[in-house]
Structure 1
Amino acid sequence: MTMTEPLLKVRGVETYYGKIIALKGVDLDVHEGEIVTLIGANGAGKSTLMMTVCGSPQARNGSIVYAGEDITTKPTYEIMRTGIAQSPEGRRIFPRMSVLENLMMGGMVAENKYFEDDLKRVFELFPRLKERQHQSGGTLSGGEQQMLAIARALMSRPRLLLLDEPSLGLAPIIVRQIFEAINELNKTDGLTVFLVEQNAYHALKLAHRGYVMVNGVITMTGTGKELLSREEVKAAYLEGGRH
């Protein structure tokens, strides 16, 4: 892979649910070391794109290339072994397992020798999880569960972290903590992040670059700063959205 090639390259992707087309020829790039965000209204197709990158559902047309390898038709379990980790929408932690057991599940695809270091790192990022490490995941607050979902994804030592709606349903103070942690991971560890978000203000402030999706189509792209200043973005996504 050359230096100019994106780490994740999506080209002409079309995804269907039955006969309904959800993604209509999507092009998108994520370069190594970037935070890239995809914003749009509920139902625009943002989460569908992220799930398509993960292989479920698979793209019917177009291609998805990660680290120079075509992953378009690979099954999800193979894609997750390539250095991609996902924190899905709705968190989806293991509620009956303890926080520590959830983190151990996340670390199963990484080499065992890194486990203690990785555990220390996620506890530094999210001190609340250290305090709650022996509690079952289902007893945590929504914000703590979101922290756990991100931490579990990090335990696999990903090269690319996919975050789907990490701020959904959370109090503003928790949203800030989570976005600060994402920023820290990118700046300190050089982690590449692809972020799907309805909270456009926080997402675009954080991101190096952003894309806007409307009805399964990318309608705008630019730096986070550029998109924040666009009048049509302000009108559609930012009114009253500054938490």
Structure 2
Amino acid sequence: MNARAPLLSVRGVRAGYGGVEALRGVDLDVGDGEIVTLIGANGAGKTTLMMTIFGDPRASAGEIRFDGRDLTKLPTHEIAKLGLAQSPEGRRVFARMSVRENLQMGAMLAGGAHFSQDLERMFAIFPRLKERAGQRGGTLSGGEQQMLAIARALMSRPRLLMLDEPSLGLAPLVARQIFEVLRDLNRDGLSVFLVEQNAFHALSLAHRAYVMVNGEITLSGGGRELLARREVRAAYLEGGL
């Protein structure tokens, strides 16, 4: 029996900025219903990979497929329409818009027909956002902004949610809450691709994981399998928990 094709497939992808090559032949898969995490040091190329999947920068070589469709020449807005959504590094909420207006922006790709239903779902997932519905995004705490960034991405009803450093700058308790939400969303069927420096939480959460060093994948395996590896613990967990 042939194995099922991955939902997201990255093969031999190279990309960079100007004359600097940031990705050097990356191979990576995210299966339907999986949580896959990518860890690595600052500057390893993790964010570049996530941005390249969305078409900015463009891959200079290789292939990126989502549900069998080649993404490498599609504009970003067309990629998003296929069922990918991104919660970017730094959250990038619309600072002058209210929480509700931010969520309306996220719902545009879904056409708005299910806005009220989806809004109530986001408020159930993130009760704090319901309390802050009329508050400007720029006045929220860091944790609240991260919740808003994830909820805004979910409003497009994606098949694959891509998150770049969702725990960055958050208090440990808030970071744990974010990871618990991701686990619950995945149990409901959402596929997740997670770029994250918090290796312990990311690897504990992931079905499978990859390690990136200098634009190349150097290790891959089950999340807890990599968590147990001595070289991963030494490099990314500072010798222990």
TM exceeding 0.5: yes
Offset, 1:135 = 0.2
1:225 maps to what in 2? 224
- Going from structure 1 to structure 2, the CA distance change for 1:119 and 1:183 (only over 3 Å counts) comes to same
What is the CA–CA distance in structure 2 between the aligned matches of 1:143 and 1:16, rounded to whole Å?
A: 31
What is the CA–CA distance in structure 2 between the aligned matches of 1:57 and 1:231, rounded to whole Å?
A: 34
What is the CA–CA distance in structure 1 between the aligned matches of 2:136 and 2:111, rounded to whole Å?
A: 25
Q: What letter is aligned with 2:197?
A: Q
Residues 200 and 241 in structure 1, CA contact (< 8 A), matched pair in contact too:
no
| Per-residue CA distance 1:88-133 (angstroms, 9 max, x = gap) | 0000010000000000000011132211121111111111000000
Secondary structure of 2:113's partner? helix
2:198 maps to what in 1? 199
**TM-score between the two structures when normalised by the length of structure 2:** 0.97
Residues 12 and 27 in structure 1, CA contact (< 8 A), matched pair in contact too:
yes
Offset, 1:77 = 1.0
What is the CA–CA distance in structure 1 between the aligned matches of 2:8 and 2:175, rounded to whole Å?
A: 26
**TM-score between the two structures when normalised by the length of structure 1:** 0.97
1:74 maps to what in 2? 74
What are the equivalent positions in structure 2 for 1:207-222 lying under 5 Å apart? 207-222=206-221
1:95 maps to what in 2? 95
What is the CA–CA distance in structure 2 between the aligned matches of 1:146 and 1:194, rounded to whole Å?
A: 16
What is the CA–CA distance in structure 1 between the aligned matches of 2:74 and 2:85, rounded to whole Å?
A: 15
Secondary structure of 1:80's partner? helix
Residues 87 and 153 in structure 1, CA contact (< 8 A), matched pair in contact too:
yes
- Alignment of 1:160 with 2:160, yes or no, is yes
What is the CA–CA distance in structure 2 between the aligned matches of 1:177 and 1:95, rounded to whole Å?
A: 23
2:84 maps to what in 1? 84
2:44 maps to what in 1? 44
| RMSD between aligned residues | 1.1
Secondary structure of 2:74's partner? coil
| Per-residue CA distance 1:46-95 (angstroms, 9 max, x = gap) | 00000000100010000000011000111111111110000000000100
Unaligned runs of 5+ in 1: none
- Alignment of 1:33 with 2:33, yes or no, is yes
What is the CA–CA distance in structure 1 between the aligned matches of 2:144 and 2:3, rounded to whole Å?
A: 37
Structure 1 outlier segments of 4+, above 6 Å:
none
What is the CA–CA distance in structure 2 between the aligned matches of 1:22 and 1:102, rounded to whole Å?
A: 32
Range moving further from structure 2, 46-55 or 110-119: 110-119
Offset, 1:27 = 0.2
2:170 maps to what in 1? 170
Q: What letter is aligned with 2:227?
A: L
What is the CA–CA distance in structure 1 between the aligned matches of 2:160 and 2:114, rounded to whole Å?
A: 18
Q: How many residues align?
A: 240
Residues 234 and 240 in structure 2, CA contact (< 8 A), matched pair in contact too:
no
Q: What letter is aligned with 1:222?
A: G
Q: What letter is aligned with 1:91?
A: R
1:11 maps to what in 2? 11
- Going from structure 1 to structure 2, the CA distance change for 1:228 and 1:59 (only over 3 Å counts) comes to same
Secondary structure of 1:218's partner? strand
Q: What letter is aligned with 2:184?
A: E
1:151 maps to what in 2? 151
Residues 233 and 240 in structure 2, CA contact (< 8 A), matched pair in contact too:
no
What are the equivalent positions in structure 2 for 1:135-146 lying under 5 Å apart? 135-146=135-146
Secondary structure of 2:91's partner? coil
1:53 maps to what in 2? 53
Residues 201 and 241 in structure 1, CA contact (< 8 A), matched pair in contact too:
no
